[in-house]
Structure formats: C-alpha cells, structure tokens
Structure 1
Amino acid sequence: MKKPFNSKLFFFIFAILFGIALSIPSFFQTQGPKIVLGLDLQGGLNLLLGVKTQEAIKTRYSSIASQINYYTLEEQILLDNLSAQNNSVQFELLDSNEKSKIDGYLKEISGLKIEEQNLNYTLSLTEDEIVNIENFAIEQAISNIRNRLDQFGLSEPSVTKQGDDAILVQLPGIKTQEEEQRALELISKGGHLQMMAVDEARNARVSSMTELEAESLGDVILPFINNPEQKILLKAIPVLDGEMLTDARAAYDQNGQPIINFTLNTQGGKIFGDFSGKNVGNRMAVVLDGKVYSAPVIRERIGGGSGQISGGFSVQEASDIAIALRSGALPAPITLLEKRSVGPSLGADSIQASLVALITGAVLVMGFMVFYYGIAGMIANLAMVINILLVVAVMALFGATLTLPGMAGIILTVGMAVDANVIINERIREGFRAKENFIKSMENGYANASRAIFDSNLTSLIAAILLYMCGTGAIKGFAITMSIGILASIITAIVGTHGVFRALQNYIMKSGNYALWFGYKERAS
C-alpha cells in the first residue's frame, strides 16, 4: 500500500498555506499585499474628458515652422514672413538659388502638401496626416494622463478611450475635495514647455500693442504667471519645445525655493546651446502652457542641454508640473465633459450584497455536495474554499484591482470549482458500478475526468483572455478573477483532491463504505 503522504498532497498543502497567508491582509486589513478595491467598491471620481484635436493640428503647424526656422538659420538660407497659421505655414524665400535646397528639406517632412508661387510657399497638411494627428492626439493623451496618474500615486487608475474622441478616467480612492481638485489640475495641465525669444526691438511698446498687430509682426503677446497684467512680446516661432525634453524634476534653488530642473535630448541641447551662444545679452522666455514663468537675460552660452524653471511654486505645484513635463505634454487641450463622484457608501453596499450572494451560494452548494457525495463532497468543499483563497491571494500578490464585476467572477468561481469535483466523483462512481476497487476507480476516474475538465477550462480561459484583451475596465475585472479562478480550480480539483484521496485510500479501502465516502449506493440486482 502507498504511503499516505504524496507529492500531490504536498502541493495541495502548499496551495492552502499560500492562499491563507496572502489572503489574510485583504480580509483583515493587516500588513502585507492587499487587493485594491476599484472605483465601484471604494468610491472615487469618474470623469469623461474631451480632446480638442484641432489644437493638435495647430501645434503641428507651429512645430513645422520651428523646424524650418532652425534649418534655414543653420544653412544660412534667407526667409521672410515665416509664420504658422491655424491651417498652414507660410514664408517667402529671398534667394532663388536656395530653392532646390529648401525644396529637398520640405520633402523630408511627412504628410506635407507644398504649394509654391514666385518663391512664396504655403505648406499645409494632407487629409490623411490630419486624421493621423487627431487619432494620435487622443491616444497620446490617454498615455500621458495614465502616466501622470501613476506618478501621482493613485491606486490602479483606469484611463480608456470612449467613443471616437472622448476619454473615460476612473480614479478610485479620491475622497476629499482637495484630492479631487489636484487630480483634475494634473489631468488637464497641458505640460507644453517652450523656449521663446523675446522681441527686444519691439517689447518696449507691448502694453499698447494689440494681438492682431503682434501677429502681423510674427510675434505673440503672453502674460507672466505671477502677474497676468504684465505682458511680454515674444517671437511666435519657439526656439524649441517640450518634444525635446527628456526629464524634469522638482528641486530647490540656493535660496531654498522650489524650482523645476529639466533636461533636453541631444538635438534640443544643441539648439539650446546654439541659440544662447548667438543671443548673449538678449532674453529667452521659459513658457509653460502659454504662461511666461521667467525671461532671464542670457549671460553666456548655455551648454549641457539642461535648464531650470522658477516661478514662485509651492512644493506641490513644482512636483505636479514636473510630473506633467516628465510624462509628456498633452498634444491637445482637455475639456471636462462630465464629472461624477462615487461615494464609498455605494461601494460598501455593493460589497455587502456581493458577500451575501457569495456566502449564500457557497452554503447552498456545500450543502448539496455533502448531501449527495458524503465525505467526498466535504473534500470538494474544502477545495472550493481554497480556490477562493487562491484567487484573493494571487490578486493581492500582483496588486490587482477588484471591481464589482470581479466580485461576480469570484462568485462564478464557486460553481466552477465544484463542477470539476462533480465530474470526478461521477467518474469514480462509474468505476464502482463496473465492480472496480476504490484505487482503480479513483485513478481511472481522475484520468478520464481530467481530460474533460482540462478541455472545458481551457476554452473558458481563452474566452476570459479575449474578454481581458478586448473589454473595458469593468469587463477586464471580471476576466481577471475568472482567469485566476479557472487556474486555481485545476490546482484544487485535479491535483489537490486527488492528493487527499491518495492519502486516505487505505482508510477508504478498509471501510468499504462507499455510501459514506462518495454517496454511492449499490443497486440491488
């Protein structure tokens, strides 16, 4: 006879200890990895955002103008009236001998439609390029908002596309008005950094200049962040922009005031260095989201591709702006279409209702299993409980978010965990009917049942994976718990209970009371 202890039993015991150890922090809120409750369970903020994609197109034209300006300065090509409009970039080439060179450069810019007449150029984007920019603006906004919220420290924020041009943001755990306001500001902050040259020749009369006059001169009037009444006249085409920024960190200056240190990539560092070297004695403004934070005089060439932004920040403001810069500028402004707060009391009601359903379902199933299968039903019930603990443990280990649909997935797991044991017990009963002894009935029962269980679980797992890949946040929560439950049921039903029966086979053989152990009553012939 085999020894009671076997490898499958050892594995089952390990699964029991693993499930208990890692699920205790979630059940009793002790130290350790815990399941994160989703928005519908712990409350929070639900936002529907719109993206002004037209502004992304406008920014693209500005970027093209900036590229042309830098290229022509480097190549010493003379242009006049270079300007970026809402739907085009225009300039006049002053030297016809440079036409082939500028034409060659413009052809390298993708998605550009070039019109030229008497050396007057009008550049516009193709229809396909406009569509690409609009789609990219939405996808990039989703990515950048998600990055910002991750760095903000929120647990499992959900940022998904809604329809063609909207973004759904769910922020679990937002409880106070201050947290809500800070999250909204971080989401909506453009994070668009520009370094812009001051028009020193005309800045003295900026207070009497209109926006239209500034535009006709190729300039733009912008306010200072600390004093909106104070304006400064800047060249409309930026020296460089935030696309060339690689890092931004909150820090302190020599006076202990919060500042933001930023670093540029190789191209940005070269542009920054070349411009500062050629403009010693002039000012260069640091512009963030259309507000001037500082406009220091350039004392010497600034190399190294780094700089700093100062503007009387609080520590929190400096940190949030650094996050916005580091995660990337929003390619287009964000508008708030809908805001809905979910109170924690609603989540508590949902948890309570789900627990009632889970406990009620589990008690009914456990009662049926004991009534119909005897001690084997009790072993199946143990496997079911361990199955639930394993789902909670694995979700806690990976910091997964539990949503209301996820709770439904756990309840479904109860039925799935027992279903496998029902198939196994019925196969064992078939062996009894064929007059086989217990060991042969057990081994054949598990061998035959395992194939059917594995096939059915595999198809369910494929469906769960597809739900996760194609579904939204709520559907993904259901798919996660369902997937973990399927894998856990294979461990507990096929491996775990098999190990228990092997350990008890001597006692079962001695008793010969299959009615007690499996609820099997031999029919009178």
Structure 2
Amino acid sequence: MTPTALWKRALILIFCLWGLLAAMPNGFYPRVEAHNDAVTEIEKAEGVATPEQEAARAGWPSFLPSALMNLGLDLRGGAHLLARVELADVYKSRMDGLWPEVRDALRGIRDQVGAVRRAPSPDGVLRVTISNPEAMPAALAAVQALATPVTSLTGVGHTDIEVTSDGADIVVQLSEAEKRATDDRTMQQSLEIIRNRVDQAGTREPTIQRQGSDRILIQVPGIGSAAELKSLIGTTAKLTFHPVVGRTDNAGASPGARNLLLPSLDEKGIYYIIEESPVVTGEELRDAQPAFDQNSNPAVSFRFDGVGARKFGDYTTNNVGKLFAIVLDDTVISAPRINQPIPGGSGIITGSFTIEEATQLAVLLRAGALPAKMEFLEERTIGPELGADSIEAGKKAAIIGAIAVIAYMVLSYGMFGWFANIALILNVVIMIAVLSTIGATLTLPGIAGIVLTMGMAVDANVLIFERIREELRAGLSPAKACEAGFDRAFSAIMDANITGLLTGIIMYWVGSGPVRGFAVTFTLGIITSMFTAVYVTRLVIELYLNWKRPKAIVV
C-alpha cells in the first residue's frame, strides 16, 4: 500500500486533534456556558467583575476552546413571543416632526397667509389653519415644496406627503406609497433593533422574523421566561432632549398646549414641564458607552452624528443659562443648566445608576429606540424540562443507532469493522466541533440528522471493504488489495455523497425551521463522513498493515 505523504498524515492528525479539542467543551456544557457568559458580562462592564463572575470565568481554562453548540428552543427551553408593531405611531411621529418645517415654510409668506397655527387633528394627520384663506393656493404650494420622492421601488414617481385644503385649513398626511415604504422601513428597523438588543444581552441564536404585514415572531432559547424577554424588548430606550418650560410639584398641573408634564427620576415628587417637540433625539445618536462622571459615579457618555451635533450645538449656543431636559422613556433623568455652548455634539448622562444599569442603558441606546410601540399578542415560556426530555430522547436514539451500526460493522468486517467504527466516532466528534465553531443551532430535527449521518457514514466504508474483498479474491496481496479498494471505490463514494449533498443544500435553501435544522447536520455529516471514511480509515489501515505486515487479512 503506497504510504500516505507525511504532510497529508500530519494534516489528518491535526484536524482530528482539533475536532477532539473543539468538541470537548460540549461535554462540560453548564460550566463552559457559565464561563462564556461571565466573560461577556465582564467585557461589557469594561473589565469590572463581581466575585461570582470571576469564579465562573475561572471555571474553564482560558487556553482551551470554549465554543459551544447552541441548543434550539425545543432542546433548551426559552421564550416565544408574537408581537404586533403599531405602525400608526410612526405616521403620528412623522406628522409631529413635520409641523416645525410647515410652520417655517408658511412664515416665509406670512404677509400673504397671515397668522399660522396648528389645529386639532387625528393621529397621522397635520392640520394647519391660516387666517387668510384667500392665500390658500400660495400656502399649498409652499407646503407642497416640502415633499420629497418616496425612497422605495414601489413608490417611484410618488412624493411622501399629500397636501390638500379644507376651508381655512391645510391638511397634510402621508401618501399611500410613503405609508407602504414607511411600513417596510419600520418593520425592518424593528427587526434589527430587537436583534441587537437580544444579541447584546448575551442570549444565543434568537429566531427573529417578520410575519405578515405588521407582526414579528421572536424566539430566544435559554432565556428564563417570556416576561423577561418582554421586559428587554419592550424597553423603548427612547432618548430625547427638550427645552424646559418650568417645574412643579403638582402631578395634576396642566402643562399647556404642545407641552408635556414628566416626572423627574432623581427628584422625588418633582415634575418638569417641557416642550413636546425635542431638539434632538436618540435617532441622531452615534455612540453611547458606560462611563463615570466627575464624582466617579456611573454614567453614560454619548455622541451625536453630524446633524445631531449641529442641532445640539446651535441650541446650547442660543440658550445659555436655561435648563435642558434629558428624557428617557417619558422620564426626565436629568435637567442640567446650559452653562456654555457645547459645539462638539457629545455629553454625559448622569443619574442614580449602578454599573449594571449604566451598561444596560448604553446597550439600549446603541441599539436604538423602537420606532413604534409593540403589542404582544402571544407569549409562551417553554420550560427546560421539555428540552431535557427531548435531549434524553435524542441521546437514546443516538446511542441505539451507534450500537447497532458498530455491531453490524464488527460482525460483517471483523478488524476492519473496528477501523470503520473509529472513523465513525471521529466523524460525530468532528461534526460537533464544526457545529460549535460556526455557531450553528442544534434542534431536535438536527439530532435526527446526526443519527441518520451515523448510518450513512459507514456506507463509504462498506463500499471500500466490499471492493477490498473482491481484490483479495482476485489474488492481490493485502496491501495491494487495500490500495485498490480505496482507489476504485472512490468514484462511487463521491457520486453517492454529491447527490446527498445536493439534497441537503436544497432542503436548507427552500426549507425553514425544523427542515433547516435537519439540513444543516445532514449536509455537514456528509462532508465530515467523506473525510473520516476515506482519509482517516485509510490512514488507520495503512498504519495497521505497516505495523503487523500480515500475509493474509479477513475482511
């Protein structure tokens, strides 16, 4: 048997050794998972660790691989939510944000339209009353000039707003094309923000996908309960900066038209009256990081983008000496006095924060504010007991399948059957190693794919061994028969595995959910079984023949 090149032997052995090391953390799943979570939390806190986190981090050697197979919702338990996005909130926000621009546009022709004021209107509609209705054509033209093209493929040729007149009122609302484009943007933005929040919170492999026109499905394995997931996702983290009109200790005080009465976070019993329209918002925030103030108390530093920095700088320049409210989720967390202009567009949020609260707030601000409120239509908590039962059932199936395959190979091929079983065990180990390394999620159908792969993994060995039998019957020596068996069975092995590989790829491409979970492990198993059945088995047989140098072999 022609010896395998030294460099090929080295590569095969190195890859097998890597597989053993990379799969090893899954044998100590709870300990390694606690280690990984502790490392993530310490990094988020910029190196600050609690004694519990230090103990968890020390529970697994840092020089060993620590990647784990992610367990799906059916194996690990977790939370399931179905939420509806209130898209009408976005229309209202757009109209509220458009009012200052409409007001400024009409002020430019004030000598024609007269006094301008905002009239009561339903949400999503902006009504503006002018005192000189005879100038309505000029007013409509001025407002229509604010329209911009719809930025979507389906909205080509349309503008974003419709401007009409109703007596002395100008009526502005979003066009149908812009509503469709806004719906798509809102849903996409909501998906990304939820994904950012869930990922940065340290959970693993969430399923977050759009369903229908206004619904989002959220499934997060490993989280404690649906309520915990709701509290994380439902936290708006909407940061805004408002001019302060006044402050009071009367919770029932009337703030006045276009003003808001909001409670103070630090000053118990104190309420701030602020202007409803913010100067800058969290949408113009570029970065937010946990920090410390001048008194070494936890805080959050922030930095605006170019547009936000200009607005922030202009306002602080023109309002030195006035109070400026920093509002988070309808609560005034700070209302500092503007002592000097702040042209750089950066600052710091102080309050009664712990390190954990400052870190979490920075995470939420970086992820951004949800563009609209969400109503949770369905929520379920899948307990770990169900997942444990599924894992136990999967283990039993895998063990029974492995014993059956190992026994069949030994009974059919004797010593060579043991060689094939060594390759089979390495195949499963390498599969687990690859799944852990690439961060794939293992589900119950995925376990079925692994069990099926164990049966298919020895198909190549069966073809090789049967071919070796034929060559031995033809009178070849053991070494020549083994070499011919591997060489002449290779084309049949390749054909069979390519068709299986194409099937797995198509299942992953057109399937979803459980089908994809099965396709991942099935496809990966075909690739790894090709390596172990052909190269590992050949190397083992070659080492055996060179060591024993038998005059005859029984296959």
| TM-score between both structures, scaled by the size of structure 1 | 0.82
CA displacement at 1:502 relative to structure 2: 3.9
Aligned length: 504
Q: Which runs of 5+ in 1 are unaligned?
A: 519-525
CA distance in structure 2 between the partners assigned to 1:4 and 1:271 by the alignment: 70
2:234 — aligned with what? 188
Distance 1:49 1:232, change over 3 A: same
CA distance in structure 2 between the partners assigned to 1:173 and 1:415 by the alignment: 31
Correspondent of 1:126 among 175, 179, 184? 175
User: Does the CA contact (< 8 Å) of 2:94 and 2:124 recur in 1?
Assistant: no
Give the AA of the match of 1:107: T
Correspondent of 2:468 among 416, 425, 428? 428
CA displacement at 1:152 relative to structure 2: 1.5
2:243 — aligned with what? 197
- 3-state SS of 1:250 partner: strand
Larger mean CA deviation between 160-169 and 357-366 belongs to 160-169
2:147 — aligned with what? 106
CA displacement at 1:491 relative to structure 2: 0.9
1:12 — aligned with what? 12
1:270 — aligned with what? 310
1:152 — aligned with what? 201
Is 1:361 aligned to residue 405 of structure 2? Answer: no
CA distance in structure 1 between the partners assigned to 2:340 and 2:3 by the alignment: 85
CA distance in structure 2 between the partners assigned to 1:268 and 1:309 by the alignment: 16
CA distance in structure 2 between the partners assigned to 1:332 and 1:139 by the alignment: 12
Distance 1:231 1:461, change over 3 A: farther
Correspondent of 1:352 among 392, 398, 411? 392
CA distance in structure 1 between the partners assigned to 2:108 and 2:346 by the alignment: 26
Distance 1:28 1:268, change over 3 A: closer
1:138 — aligned with what? 187
CA distance in structure 2 between the partners assigned to 1:305 and 1:4 by the alignment: 65
Q: CA RMSD in A?
A: 3.6
2:551 — aligned with what? 511
1:86 — aligned with what? 123
CA displacement at 1:297 relative to structure 2: 3.4
Larger mean CA deviation between 244-253 and 181-190 belongs to 181-190
CA displacement at 1:225 relative to structure 2: 4.2
Distance 1:104 1:163, change over 3 A: closer
- 3-state SS of 1:105 partner: coil
CA distance in structure 2 between the partners assigned to 1:181 and 1:257 by the alignment: 30
CA displacement at 1:305 relative to structure 2: 0.7
Distance 1:63 1:486, change over 3 A: farther
The correspondence of residues 46-85 of structure 1 with structure 2, limited to 5 A, is: 46-65=80-99, 80-82=116-118
Is 1:40 aligned to residue 74 of structure 2? Answer: yes
CA displacement at 1:504 relative to structure 2: 4.4
CA displacement at 1:187 relative to structure 2: 1.2
CA displacement at 1:455 relative to structure 2: 3.6
CA displacement at 1:326 relative to structure 2: 0.5
Q: Percent identity?
A: 36
CA displacement at 1:388 relative to structure 2: 0.5
Larger mean CA deviation between 47-56 and 3-12 belongs to 3-12
Write out per-residue CA displacement over residues 306-362 of structure 1, whole angstroms, 9 at most, x where no aligned residue: 233334334333322221110111111123333333333333322222111111101
Is 1:380 aligned to residue 416 of structure 2? Answer: no
CA displacement at 1:417 relative to structure 2: 1.1
Larger mean CA deviation between 442-451 and 332-341 belongs to 442-451
- 3-state SS of 2:322 partner: coil
Correspondent of 1:172 among 221, 232, 238? 221
Write out per-residue CA displacement over residues 487-514 of structure 1, whole angstroms, 9 at most, x where no aligned residue: 211111122223334444568985334x
CA displacement at 1:383 relative to structure 2: 0.9
User: Does the CA contact (< 8 Å) of 1:81 and 1:218 recur in 2?
Assistant: no
Correspondent of 2:437 among 381, 397, 421? 397
2:325 — aligned with what? 285
Pick 1 or 2: higher relative contact order, CA cutoff 8 A, min separation 6.
1
User: Does the CA contact (< 8 Å) of 1:66 and 1:240 recur in 2?
Assistant: no
User: Does the CA contact (< 8 Å) of 2:240 and 2:328 recur in 1?
Assistant: yes
Distance 1:366 1:506, change over 3 A: same
Q: Which runs of 5+ in 2 are unaligned?
A: 30-59, 152-158
CA distance in structure 2 between the partners assigned to 1:221 and 1:484 by the alignment: 59
1:478 — aligned with what? 518
Correspondent of 2:364 among 318, 324, 327? 324
- 3-state SS of 2:458 partner: helix
- 3-state SS of 2:83 partner: strand
Give the AA of the match of 1:184: K
Write out per-residue CA displacement over residues 64-114 of structure 1, whole angstroms, 9 at most, x where no aligned residue: 345656x759x9676832578522234467999897665433235755233
CA displacement at 1:259 relative to structure 2: 2.8
- 3-state SS of 2:289 partner: strand
| TM-score between both structures, scaled by the size of structure 2 | 0.78
CA distance in structure 2 between the partners assigned to 1:324 and 1:124 by the alignment: 31
Give the AA of the match of 2:82: L
- 3-state SS of 2:343 partner: coil
Is 1:115 aligned to residue 163 of structure 2? Answer: yes
CA displacement at 1:474 relative to structure 2: 4.4
CA distance in structure 2 between the partners assigned to 1:221 and 1:366 by the alignment: 74
Distance 1:224 1:456, change over 3 A: farther
Distance 1:289 1:464, change over 3 A: farther
CA displacement at 1:384 relative to structure 2: 0.7
Give the AA of the match of 1:22: A
CA distance in structure 1 between the partners assigned to 2:98 and 2:509 by the alignment: 37
Give the AA of the match of 1:104: A
- 3-state SS of 1:304 partner: coil
CA displacement at 1:274 relative to structure 2: 1.2
